[in-house]
Amino acid sequence: MKLLRQLILVISVSAFGQKKDTLYVENYSHRINIKTSLELEEQALEVTNLNSLNNYSLRQNEVGKLAFSLNYNILGIKVGFSPDFLKNDFDLKGPAKFRHYRLRIYFPKLYQQFYYYHTKGFYIKNTSEYNEDWIKGEDAYLQVSNLNTLEIGGETRYYFSNKFGYRAIFSNTERQIKSKGTWMALVKYHYSIIEKPSDDYFVLNDESYNISLMGGYIYNLILDKNKYLFGQITPSVGLKYVKNIHDNINGGVDRDDILIHNIGLRTRLGLGYNSSKFYYGISVLITSTNYPEYSNIDLVDSRIFASIHLGYRFKAFKGLERLFQKIGL
């Protein structure tokens, strides 16, 4: 029991209590940090019906999104939505909707987030395989407008080096002064639904509980006093407990409750400017998760996420500072 208590103490001090090396990282968490970003995201679902051998390459309409973030001390909040003026090619690709919300908690070497992510409306990118007369750019794609994806979950990340300022990249509440990289470990856990009520093209109603373990490396290259370039690569392995409703070989519908494994890869690249008050940057994130055959469906879920952000930091209100001091933060 004594050994267990000592182990818990060591882990707690390492994750929550260890301060950043000020020769490498400058901290701005005592300031209010506001950020707005223009985001472009495409979710891709590759669905292969192993009975008919039909492959449906599904894409969400590339809806432009606006996101607003507010960070102070250890807390961060992000809200994203798709305004009408950023919606793209609805006549050809069909309607699409998007909402996401994130709550973030920052510690020196540990990062915790919880999120809600919902998309609706997909089109079949390989429409030409099903309609020989279809002309790209003129004719509408085949559409699966009633396909919804919902994901609710969280992610815990641990960065091994106290000389690496992960918040300089993800929340801009730090600034990396000298180039540095670090190994990191991640656990992602979420509840997800892929729901398609009608049986046109294929049947896919997928409710699942997921956990993934990831490990990788991230490096922040400081180009001069304010400019930086970073890159990340993170492979993953995971388990998915799924309740799946799908087509069967007799033309009917079956339901399976199964446990399957998955493998994935997350890569990220970005470039930015970060001064004591003002910052901006661009980044691209690519994720792909492959679910091997279960029942009669092969499924690959991929996402490409590009962002341009602009932000500013300013002195916190006295009342806000006192509030966080009272609760020991």
- Report the range of poorest mean pLDDT among 48-57, 262-271, 312-321: 48-57
Q: What is the pLDDT of residue 88?
A: 64
Give 9's pLDDT tier (boundaries 50, 70, 90).
Answer: very low
* pLDDT tens per residue across span 107-123: 999 999 999 988 888 88
Residue, of 259 and 4, whose pLDDT is higher = 259
Q: What is the pLDDT of residue 290?
A: 79
The CATH number assigned to the domain holding 46 equals 2.40.128
Q: Are 263 and 215 in contact (CB under 8 A)?
A: no
- Report the range of poorest mean pLDDT among 28-32, 85-89, 188-192, 298-302: 85-89
Q: What is the pLDDT of residue 5?
A: 47
Residues whose CB falls within 8 Å of the CB of residue 48, separated by 6 or more in sequence, listed in order: 54, 55, 56, 297, 298, 299
Alpha helices in 144-272 (DSSP H): 167-170
Q: What is the pLDDT of residue 187?
A: 96
Mean pLDDT across the chain = 83
- Residue keyed to tokens 């919880």: 114
Q: Which residues of 132-162 are buried (b: 16+ CB within 10 A; e: fewer)?
A: eeeeeeeeebbbbbebbbbbebebebbbebb
Q: What is the pLDDT of residue 257?
A: 79
Q: What is the pLDDT of residue 197?
A: 67
Residues whose CB falls within 8 Å of the CB of residue 26, separated by 6 or more in sequence, listed in order: 165, 174, 175, 177, 276
Cα-based distances in Å from 12 to 6, 22, 158: 10, 21, 12
Q: What is the pLDDT of residue 52?
A: 61
Structural domain span for residue 241: 2-326
Above 60 in pLDDT, residue 10?
no
* pLDDT tens per residue across span 174-197: 999 999 999 999 999 999 988 876
Q: Which residues of 227-252 are buried (b: 16+ CB within 10 A; e: fewer)?
A: ebebebebebebebebebbbbeeeee
Tally of domains in the chain: 1
Above 60 in pLDDT, residue 15?
no
Question: Encoding tokens for residue 245?
Answer: 């409703």
Percent of the chain clearing pLDDT 70 (strictly above): 83
Above 90 in pLDDT, residue 313?
yes
Q: What is the pLDDT of residue 303?
A: 83
Above 60 in pLDDT, residue 149?
yes
**β-sheet bridge partners, residue 231:** 219, 269
Give dist(CA 295, CA 254) in Å, integer. 9
